[in-house]
Chain A
Amino acid sequence: MTNEFIRLEHISKSFGKTEVLKDLSAVLHRGEILGFLGPSGAGKTTTIKILTGQLKPSAGDAYILDTHIKNIDTAIYEQIGIVTDHSGIYERLSVYDNLKYFAQILGVNTARIDELLNRVGLYEHRKKPAGKLSKGQTQRLVLIRAVLHEPKVLFLDEPTSGLDPSTALEIHKMLTELKEEGMAVFLTTHNMEEAAKLCNHVALLNNGQIVEYGTPEELCLRYNQDKSYRLLLTDGSKLTLGQTPAEIEQLAALLREDKVNSLHSCEPTLESVFLTVTGRSLQ
C-alpha cells in the first residue's frame, strides 16, 4: 500500500437539480491531517459521506486505502474510524460497555479500552451510563470509539463544534498524537484556528467547490499582498507599518533605538483568506 490513503478525483454530487459538490480533487497521505474548511452547507459532510461509502457521487472517482469507494465493504470499515454529529452512543450502556461492544465487533483487546479512557480523562466515568455524560465527554467517548481499532484513516466532521475550549484543546492534542502515530485524518471544520493549528493541508470549500488548496501557511502567504507589521513600543503605544521605503526606514530606526517591545507580521488568517476568496465568512 502506498502512503496515499485518500484520493478524490473530480468528485461531483447533485441532489436533484442542486449540485452540492463540484469537481473536488484532493489527496490525503499517511500521518497527515487534511482539513475541509467551509461554512455550513458548503458540502463538507457530503464529502465525508461519499468517502465512507454512505453516498454515491454523481461523477468522479475516489479511493480510500487503494479501494475505489464503490467497492467499500466491511474490510474497509475495519480500517477507518468516523466521528460525525450522528455518531450515536448507547445511552443506557455504561461508557465502558459502549466501548466493549465495539471492541468485540472490531476484534480489539479490551485492555485498549482502559488505555484510551485514561488518555481522554474518562476513566473515572467508565461506569456511568453514556447518556449521563456531558457533550464534551460524549464527544470524547465517540472519538475514542472511532480510534479503538487503530484505524488507518479517521474522519472527523466538526469534532469540536460546540465544545468548551479545554475539551477542544484535549481533542486537538489527541489528534496531533494520532497524526504522529501515522493515522491519516480527514477533518471538516468551520473553525479556521483549528484548521491552521492541526492541518497539513486545507481545502477551502465554498458552495461545493474547492476555492483554494494548500498548506495553511501557503494560503496565508499567498494572500499576504499588503504586507504590514504590528508593533508594540516601549512607551506602550501601538503602531502598524507597511512596506513603503519610509515605513521600512521607520521600523529600522525603532529597532535600532530599542523602542520595540514586540513585533508581529500581519499576514492574513485563513478566515480572512476565505473572506477574500469567497466574499463570505466561515460562520
Chain B
Amino acid sequence: MSKTQTTTSTKKTHASGIHWNKLAAIMKLKTRALFSKNFIIMPIFAVGLTFVLKFLYGFIANGNEEILTFMYSMALGLGATMNVSMTGMVCTSMALAEEKEKHTLRALMTSSVNGLEFFLGSIIPVLVMIVAVNAILVLITAVSMSPAGWALWLGISLLCSVASAVLGMILGICAKNQVNSSTLSTIPLLVLAMIPSFSSFHPAIKKISDLLFTGILMNTSASLVEGTPAIDALGLCVIAVEIALAVIAFLLIYRRNGYDAD
C-alpha cells in the first residue's frame, strides 16, 4: 500500500471535542492491555529492580544509617527513572504500534473516535500506572517523605510521565509494528534511563543528566531524602521545555501523518 494511501487514513478524524463515553471505552481497553503480559513486565521490572537495589545497597551500607538513606534514595531514583522511561515510552509506543499492526487503529478511527480521544485514552492509563508504581517504589525503599514531599514526588513523576508518554506516541507513529517500535525505543530508552543512572560517575554525565527529565526525577528523589529543595527553577524549566518539545514534535508529526506514518 502506498504511503499516500495510508497517511490520510487516521488524520481525518481530527479532534473536535471529547466524547466521554469514547474516552472511557478507550481508557478501559488500554488499562486492560497494560495489565497484559507484554506490558506489565515493564512496571514489574522497575519494582523488581528497586527491590534488588534495596537489598544490595543495604548489604553494602552494612548498617550505616547515613549511607543507607543515601543508597535507598538512589534505589528509588533508579527504579523511578526506569519506570518512567520504560512504562511511559515503551508501553505507549508498543501499544500504538500494536493497534497499527493489527489494523484496529483504522477500525477505531472509522468508528467515530477522534485523534484527541485516542491520544488521551492511550496515555492516561499509562500516566496513572507510572505514578502508582512510583508511589509503590517509595514504600519499597522505605524512604521517609513528608506529605508535601509525597505531593512533590508524585507531581514530578506525573510531569515526567507526560513527557515520556508523548515521546512514546511519537515513536508509535513512526513504528510500523511492535518489533519496529522496540527497536526505535532502544536508543531513547538508553539515554533516558542510563544517563541519570551514571550521573554520579562523571561531572559531564551529570551535566547531561540534569538536562533530561529523568535526570530531574533522579535529583528529586535524592533531594527529598536529603531534605534540600526537591526541585529548582532550572529543573522545572527542563521538564516544562521537554514536555513542550515533545508535544510540538507530536503535533507536527500527527498533523502530517495522522497516527499512521507507515
**Chain A residues in the interface with B (C-beta under 8 A):** 15, 46, 49, 52-56, 72-75, 77-78, 80, 82, 86-93, 101-102, 104-107, 145
Contact = CB atoms under 8 A, between A and B. Distances in A.
Q: How large is the interface on B (under 10, 10 to 19, 20 to 34, 35 or more residues)?
A: 20 to 34
B104 A104 contact: no
Given A53-B12, A73-B13, A86 B2 contact: no
26 contacts: A15-B2, A49-B9, A54-B8, A54-B12, A54-B110, A73-B14, A73-B16, A74-B13, A74-B16, A77-B13, A77-B110, A82-B107, A87-B106, A88-B104, A88-B105, A89-B104, A89-B107, A90-B102, A92-B36, A93-B29, A101-B29, A104-B21, A104-B22, A105-B25, A106-B111, A106-B112
A114 B59 CA distance: 60
Contacts of A78: 112
Nearest to B32: A93
Contacts of A49: 5, 9
Instruction: Kindly name the residue among A88, A101, A104, A107 whose own CB sees the greatest number of chain B CB atoms within 10 A.
Output: A88
B103 interface: yes
A55 B25 CA distance: 27
Contacts, number: 84
A78 B19 CA distance: 12
Contacts of B110: 52, 54, 77, 80, 82
Nearest to B36: A92
Contacts of A56: 8
Contacts of B8: 54-56
Interface of B: 2, 4-5, 8-9, 12-14, 16, 19, 21-22, 24-26, 28-29, 32-33, 36, 99, 102-108, 110-114
B112 A15 contact: no
Q: Which of B29, B99, B112 has the most CB of A within 10 A?
A: B112
Contacts of A101: 25, 28-29
Given A15-B2, A89-B104, A90-B29, A77 B111 contact: yes
